[in-house]
Amino acid sequence: MTTVPDFDRYLEARRTEIDVALEAELPSPPGCPRLIVEAMRYSLFAGGKRLRPILTLAVAEAVVDSGHTDTRSRDTGRAQALPAACAVELIHTYSLVHDDLPAMDDDDLRRGQPTAHVVYGDGVAILAGDAMLTHAFVVLTRRRSNEAPGCDPRRLRAIACLAQAAGAAGMVGGQVLDLTATGTGTGTVGVDPHQNASGDAALREMHERKTGALISAAAVTGAILAGGDDTAVAAVDRYATSLGLAFQIVDDILDIEGTTANLGKNAGKDADARKLTYPAVHGLERSRVLAADAAAAARETLATAGLAGRLTEIADWVVSRSH
């Protein structure tokens, strides 16, 4: 049985691998203005769990180990998925920078430091987010010297998957629903989070788009780029859908029970803004049950599909985290 310290070492090794790769992938002067690189780096290297890119790499390893691919080793599978892991983190960080803006969630603290717009102003923060989003696809489209034969179709499929998750059907659409639910979207009608019948459906759709879409895409691109067959990709998608739900429910709980010091962002803001959250609709105890059920569904998917590696531990980590 894998021990917790062993899993902690795994997470740290993957974070280091991702950070080194991100350093190598970022643009630099004189190819672009120094200020935009500085603003991108400020948010990108502020810390964070790196859940999404770690998931990309862990899925690639698990798919190789399961035999649902022609890739010969987990190291090769992980190397093929590493550009996608970088792209996923660039897209995730862009979304945080934009979500924190005064016109969105209006947050002044992220990952334990002042948010990008507080440091650089709204204009540069918006442009830094734009730069990270677009650069994610620069990273994905680059050909690498260590690529396996037939990698181009996989890369195109991964690009389409991430673009869909980041756009109107995914994160952007989810943020629109978030603004609508709080009554801050122009011309919209807010949803009362205490009306369970309408609130539960709206809540599920909002989080599937805003949070779940990128988590699912992070996992699926790892499976695609490691050469996973359709059976493996479909199983990974089901696993990640359940994982994303568990992650969001725990996030909503932590906004109530966590501290600003632990979370690295302002605790209690969702409740103060009467946001549509799982505790607001279901209460804390029921929300805990729903998170545990979602994690169990993720683990069951892995068992049925014969996928293992670190993915079960990631599901456990998501529901037991304190930040």
Instruction: Tell me what the mean pLDDT of segment 53-74 comes to.
Output: 89
CA-to-CA distance for 281 and 63, rounded, in angstroms? 37
Which letter does DSSP use for residue 49 in this model? Answer: -
Q: Which pLDDT belongs to residue 1?
A: 42
pLDDT tens for 105-147 read: 899 999 889 999 999 999 999 999 999 999 999 999 998 877 7
**What contacts 295, CB < 8 A, 6 or more positions away?**
242, 243, 246, 315, 316, 318, 319
The per-residue pLDDT of the chain, averaged, comes to 89
pLDDT band at 155 (very low <50, low <70, confident <90, very high): very high
pLDDT tens for 216-262 read: 999 999 999 999 999 999 999 999 999 999 999 999 999 888 777 67
Contact 56, 15 (CB under 8 A): no
Name the CATH topology of 4-320: Farnesyl Diphosphate Synthase (1.10.600)
Q: Where are the domains of the chain?
A: 4-320
Alpha helices in the chain (DSSP H): 4-25, 34-44, 51-66, 74-99, 116-120, 122-141, 151-166, 171-181, 196-207, 213-225, 230-257, 260-263, 269-272, 278-282, 284-305, 311-320
SS3 label, residue 89: helix
CA-to-CA distance for 232 and 238, rounded, in angstroms? 10
CA-to-CA distance for 217 and 183, rounded, in angstroms? 29
pLDDT band at 194 (very low <50, low <70, confident <90, very high): very low
276: left (phi over 0), alpha (psi -120 to 50) or beta: beta
Q: Which pLDDT belongs to residue 143?
A: 86
CA angle 295, 198, 97 (to 5 degrees): 60
- The residues with which 109 forms a beta bridge, in sequence order, are 114
Task: Tell me the whole-structure pTM to 2 decimals.
Answer: 0.91
SS3 label, residue 268: coil
pLDDT band at 267 (very low <50, low <70, confident <90, very high): low
